[in-house]
A and B are shown apart, each in its own frame.
Chain A
């Protein structure tokens, strides 16, 4: 089972390129696609979900070209878009039955699977209520259920935790981890903690290009010895921001504790353990500065 994205570029109309020469290979596991807003994540997700066609390059699914055989991927694809709607007059059960029919699933088997999925996303009790009466988070859970309907080998989820409360977010992260064993899960988000909790691989994307693709551990190694905690007076914080990349600050009685990312420490700063957010910000800043990450 392998997904290969080969030099994929996407241009909307005659406007800007949303993706440029994007290359990536992925096998079973959770690939966290991290990037700032407007980086091209949703465009890439749409291409992988066969919603839009790449302007250049190709996507290979198990050595089959997506452009020639889109249904080879579609039949094993689960897709949770960033924005999607539901039919408000249908209830969750009817909506999932409808999508099961659209996906061509066997009636009896899909009925059992829908029951299980509604249980899984904690909607069994409200399965007979019209979707029009659901909250945003509940609709998102219906979206998660529909993405898993056909037992997908490739699960593409675009900003899946948007609209979920903290408890549901944790549940969803755990669910992704559980699902990842025998399938490829691509999790697109700008929330680093979502990726940190689930991803076996991380791809950083910025301005339509791949910045880095590695394991979380390898990514963390890039910023080892480059993260510092610096205590400084509040009045000097703005000046410090001009000079250093600061990933976090917290105000305490002895001043502002700033988390600084730099090759050399500011005067009096102490080295601290790097986390994924540090690595993400460090790589993006290097990319923007034109330095290879």
Chain B
């Protein structure tokens, strides 16, 4: 069987396995939502006072940008499980026993990821067509103008994202939740790498071609050319260009006719560079890939201890006499031995959450906790607390999904009072983590009599574990919380954004009532979901 055929079947099997899961429908729904958001003005490309009329070129460029910027973030978290799935299903062991090379496997997984992301881009292309029809500003469909930004701007970004996902899955440190957090900052860095300047007004031209090379998402290239077009019809127009989410200014009043991207050699070369980088990263990833060797798995849950040999049995004795204890002599447990176990269970859940962290994790957590107590209150609330409540992200993230991740559901769910005891114990342990790491700020707000601020702190301490629990139970994975919390943390608390600042880091940005209610809703949703998973609630 030649390599192309092997590659085809690997990608096909991977793709079919993915698309036959309900989660893929959610993925497609997200792509459709992105299209809707662009059409309805939730996502806006603004060139000073201008926007393009809804023709094929404008909608294609808009979708290309939106795809390359947002799918490169969300898509990463969606596809960063292809190698893990081979490990979980043990298909990887079968593949490892074939003559397939590590580089081939890595490239095949990158291709498989790419096909999934490309299918989402395909949905966005269809959405662009629908938008042009609904917008009714230009009925003429120009396929190349519509599709070329998606093919040449979005797809290279998807290829690079696909390769990064494989790279993150093969490098032991990045494979875990740490990698999910780090990727957000990598993505941010990729977006800002070419700089924010897209257009040189004095020269009436886009930024130098060299910026195209660093332009992962194509935003500098696209907005630069759009600004040049606007400037040519209105030299007095401003120098601003932006792609924003949740635009509150309303749609731009003026419109211009965008005829599409000019495929300059620099632009084409830039896209080729990013596509080639995808292949390069896929090959780099193969160096870290160890063909599912259980001795080199690494990552979370992998034991640092060497395999334990089974204790030797004394074959000179009758088999039943080997054990020092027989079943008949086991301590009987009478009904009176049952005590109210809730607080003990909270302690057990807390220990389970914290187990596995290294000493330096506790050191940093302790340092942040102490800083919460002794830093100036405003700095503690608006700075230290933000870090203190990001640090335990990997402690919170397995909440709700730990049983599924480690296949202990049947052991836990067959125990008495799972829903009324174990479920709230997990949540309480999560809240305790928040209190232990950021409690200093809460304590000081209490003594300062800052009621509103204290309420915001308390709401956050309840909201964060509630979010972790809900996302864990509903998604069955810790990844959703790691990705969403990191983004939310960055956009909300880290920038003190009103409405999104769930930590209430400043008086102006806090909204405790909202997040207290949100916490209650999330706990309720988690409870309902967990209840539905139990055979007999």
Q: Which of A67, A84, A104 makes the CB contact (< 8 A) with B407?
A: A84
Minimal beta-carbon separation of A143 from chain B (angstroms): 8
The chain A residue with its CB closest to the CB of B306 is: A133
Which residues of A37-70 are within 8 A (CB) of B? 46-47, 49-53, 66-67, 70
Q: Which of A107, A121, A125, A130 makes the CB contact (< 8 A) with B305?
A: A130
Q: Which of B311, B339, B410, B412 makes the CB contact (< 8 A) with A122?
A: B311
Check B408 against A47 for contact (C-beta < 8 Å): no
Name the segment of B77-85, B179-187, B321-329, B433-441 touching the other chain. Answer: B321-329
Could you say which residues of chain B place their CB within 8 Å of the CB of A120? 323, 325-327, 330
Check A85 against B416 for contact (C-beta < 8 Å): no
Check B331 against A116 for contact (C-beta < 8 Å): yes
Q: A70-B536, A71-B417, A167-B319 are in contact. Are A151 and B344 (CB under 8 A)?
A: no
Minimal beta-carbon separation of B393 from chain A (angstroms): 17
Interface size class of A (residues with CB under 8 A): 35 or more
Could you say which residues of chain B place their CB within 8 Å of the CB of A99? 411-412, 415
Check A102 against B348 for contact (C-beta < 8 Å): yes
Could you say which residues of chain A place their CB within 8 Å of the CB of B202? none
Name the segment of A22-30, A168-176, A187-195, A216-224 touching the other chain. Answer: A168-176
Q: Which of A129, A143, A178 makes the CB contact (< 8 A) with B326?
A: A178
A87 on the interface (CB 8 Å rule)? yes
What secondary structure prevails in chain B residues at the interface with A?
A: loop
The chain B residue with its CB closest to the CB of A82 is: B410
* A110 to B345 Cα, complex, angstroms: 13
B301 on the interface (CB 8 Å rule)? yes
Q: Which of B305, B322, B339 makes the CB contact (< 8 A) with A132?
A: B305
Q: A70-B536, A79-B411 are in contact. Are A109 and B333 (CB under 8 A)?
A: yes
Check A84 against B414 for contact (C-beta < 8 Å): no
A262 on the interface (CB 8 Å rule)? no
Could you say which residues of chain A place their CB within 8 Å of the CB of B534? 50
* A232 to B266 Cα, complex, angstroms: 83
Could you say which residues of chain B place their CB within 8 Å of the CB of A233? none
B313 on the interface (CB 8 Å rule)? yes
Check B319 against A171 for contact (C-beta < 8 Å): yes
Total interface residues on B, CB under 8 Å, equals 59
B315 on the interface (CB 8 Å rule)? yes
Q: Which of B308, B351, B406, B421 makes the CB contact (< 8 A) with A85?
A: B406
Minimal beta-carbon separation of B352 from chain A (angstroms): 6
* A85 to B536 Cα, complex, angstroms: 21
B369 on the interface (CB 8 Å rule)? no
What per-residue 1/0 map shows which CB atoms of A115-154 lie under 8 Å from chain B? 0110111111110011111110110000100101011000
What per-residue 1/0 map shows which CB atoms of B512-537 lie under 8 Å from chain A? 00000000000000000000001111
A74 on the interface (CB 8 Å rule)? yes
B302 on the interface (CB 8 Å rule)? yes
How many pairs, one residue from A and one from B, have CB atoms within 8 Å of each other in the complex? 190
Check A101 against B301 for contact (C-beta < 8 Å): no
* A62 to B416 Cα, complex, angstroms: 17
Q: A75-B416, A126-B311, A178-B326 are in contact. Are A90 and B320 (CB under 8 A)?
A: no
B307 on the interface (CB 8 Å rule)? yes
B20 on the interface (CB 8 Å rule)? no
Could you say which residues of chain B place their CB within 8 Å of the CB of A143? 411
Minimal beta-carbon separation of B525 from chain A (angstroms): 22
The chain B residue with its CB closest to the CB of A88 is: B301
* A119 to B534 Cα, complex, angstroms: 33
B276 on the interface (CB 8 Å rule)? no
B303 on the interface (CB 8 Å rule)? yes
What per-residue 1/0 map shows which CB atoms of B327-362 lie under 8 Å from chain A? 111111100011101001101100110011000000
Could you say which residues of chain B place their CB within 8 Å of the CB of A106? 333, 337-339, 341
B413 on the interface (CB 8 Å rule)? yes
Could you say which residues of chain A place their CB within 8 Å of the CB of B333? 105-106, 109-110, 113, 150-151
Q: A106-B339, A129-B305, A130-B303 are in contact. Are A90 and B326 (CB under 8 A)?
A: no
What per-residue 1/0 map shows which CB atoms of A11-40 lie under 8 Å from chain B? 000000000000000000000000000000
Check B410 against A51 for contact (C-beta < 8 Å): yes
Check B327 against A175 for contact (C-beta < 8 Å): yes
A254 on the interface (CB 8 Å rule)? no
Can you add 18 more A-B contacts, CB < 8 Å, to A79-B414, A87-B402, A97-B348? A46-B535, A50-B413, A50-B535, A81-B411, A85-B406, A85-B407, A86-B408, A87-B406, A106-B337, A109-B333, A116-B329, A119-B323, A120-B326, A121-B323, A130-B304, A134-B307, A165-B310, A167-B313
19 chain-A/chain-B pairs, Cβ below 8 angstroms: A53-B536, A75-B338, A84-B410, A84-B411, A85-B408, A87-B355, A88-B406, A98-B348, A98-B352, A99-B412, A104-B421, A117-B325, A122-B311, A124-B324, A138-B308, A150-B333, A171-B319, A171-B322, A175-B327
List residues of A whose CB falls within 8 A of some B CB.
46-47, 49-53, 66-67, 70-71, 74-75, 77, 79, 81, 83-90, 94, 97-99, 101-107, 109-110, 112-113, 116-117, 119-126, 129-135, 137-138, 143, 146, 148, 150-151, 165, 167-168, 170-171, 174-175, 178-179
Ranked 6 nearest A-B pairs via Cβ = A132-B303, A85-B407, A70-B536, A89-B356, A74-B416, A101-B348
